[in-house]
Structure 1
Amino acid sequence: MISSETVNDYLARLAARQPTPGGGAAAALHAAQGAALVAMVARYTTGEKYAEHAGLVARITNSADHHRTEALRLADADEHGFQGVIDSYKLPSDTPELKTAKKAAIDAALVQAAQTPAQLIKLAGEIVDLATELFEAANPNVISDVAAAADAARAAATTARINIDINLVAIKDDATRTRLAGQTDGLEEKVVLAADTLSRRVRERILA
């Protein structure tokens, strides 16, 4: 499992000539890093100096920790889901019945594989929202990490979107494609806009 292996071992598997892990897992780890950075900034925004923000900071810390765990779960889920797609393509198709069954299995696996990046885009948006909430109260000594968190979440969302698209292209049923696309259409653009806005605000605050 990605969530329990070393960074070096994960990167070695990512670099290997093998189908999993791939871009989907990498996207989930972008989100995990974004959430972790939000949590880190929140933990530096504590003590008497930040007492008036204690409730906000505590809530953001708990949420960011939860999102980090969820992102790691999605990294493992993405690897598992794509393996399901690979396995479905290996099914026999020697008879008309087997060919029909194989097509159904492939479509089902592709639909399932598209669910993880869809969840990831939503999670990335929530991470950017947390970072945005924290911005005004954040310890100025680590304010650059608020932008880093937003940038990591943006990468998660845009990478997840392309993974959804490649799965949708392979699905033959038009109604299924339309339904799946409708779950996330426009969401990654909102994440990108929010992340870009927050990064700009951080730079302006640093350079003011």
Structure 2
Amino acid sequence: MSDDGSVWTQRLDGFRAATAARQPTPGCGAAAAVTADIGLALVLKGLRISEAHDSDPVRLQLLQAAESLLGRPGAFADDDVQAFRDFLDAARAGEPEQKRAASRQACAVPLALAHCCLEALELAVKAWPLTDTNVQSDAQAGAVLIHSGLSAALINVDADMGSLDDPTAREQAAQTRRRLQDEGDGLLKRLRDRVMGDVPGSA
């Protein structure tokens, strides 16, 4: 997709309006990608502010990893829009092989997004205890947004799996989907347990 048509060159209210419009795209996959990337930005904010106050080698390593990762979840927004447009075009054309390829891609994009979200969520969980108290809320909220993006991407996978005509491909996608959700849920629970353990009077 060209930069002119990118989700990331739109005004925020324009993207919201397009998401709410009576048109196929952008849909849940694009919204999931944007949500996850904003969540990662919050985690990075917490790391940067904390590192500016008092440098820590482990935190600095996480900060650099977050900087490298920022933008990757969001890039899947345009990929998702393009994949679904290609699927609709293939369905209209009525070419079986073209439709099969488009179906695989429509399912592969949200799975790849979910993998990226899982990487970001792992980073967020590691970052939270190394983030200054006054910005831990940003890191925690960022982790929740990343998890939401992951979960929304996997809902998109559920919707797309039905178009796969290969039973083996459907089962592989379903297994990967369940694993990603389980791992993401486990990471978020680990963070919540850590947060509650650090809240006075929560024991």
Identify the residue that residue 28 of structure 1 maps to in structure 2.
33
Once the 2 structures are TM-superposed, how far is the Cα of residue 63 of structure 1 from its aligned partner?
2.1
Aligned AA (1:46): E
How many residues in Structure 1 have an aligned counterpart in Structure 2? 196
Identify the residue that residue 11 of structure 1 maps to in structure 2.
16
The gaps in structure 1 that reach 5 residues or longer are: 93-101
Matches of 1:76 and 1:4, distance apart in 2: 11
**Aligned 8 A contact 1:107 1:172 in 2:** yes
| Bigger Rg over Cα | 1
Which of 87, 90, 98 matches 2:89?
A: 87
Matches of 2:156 and 2:191, distance apart in 1: 25
Tell me the alpha carbon deviations over residues 149-188 of structure 1, each in whole angstroms, 9 at most, x when there is no partner: 1111111111111111211112222122223334443111
The gaps in structure 2 that reach 5 residues or longer are: 1-5
CA RMSD, aligned part only?
1.7
**Aligned 8 A contact 2:128 2:140 in 1:** no
Once the 2 structures are TM-superposed, how far is the Cα of residue 199 of structure 1 from its aligned partner?
2.8
Identify the residue that residue 106 of structure 2 maps to in structure 1.
113
Matches of 1:109 and 1:152, distance apart in 2: 29
Tell me the alpha carbon deviations over residues 19-74 of structure 1, each in whole angstroms, 9 at most, x when there is no partner: 00000001111210111011000011124x533x2x22222222223322111211
Percent sequence identity is: 27
Q: Which SS does the other structure have where 1:131 is aligned?
A: helix
Once the 2 structures are TM-superposed, how far is the Cα of residue 104 of structure 1 from its aligned partner?
2.0
Is 2:186 the counterpart of 1:202?
no
Q: Which SS does the other structure have where 1:17 is aligned?
A: coil
Matches of 1:126 and 1:7, distance apart in 2: 26
Once the 2 structures are TM-superposed, how far is the Cα of residue 206 of structure 1 from its aligned partner?
4.0
Q: Which SS does the other structure have where 1:172 is aligned?
A: coil
Matches of 1:8 and 1:40, distance apart in 2: 23
Identify the residue that residue 95 of structure 1 maps to in structure 2.
none
State the TM-score, normalized to the length of structure 1: 0.87
Matches of 1:196 and 1:30, distance apart in 2: 19
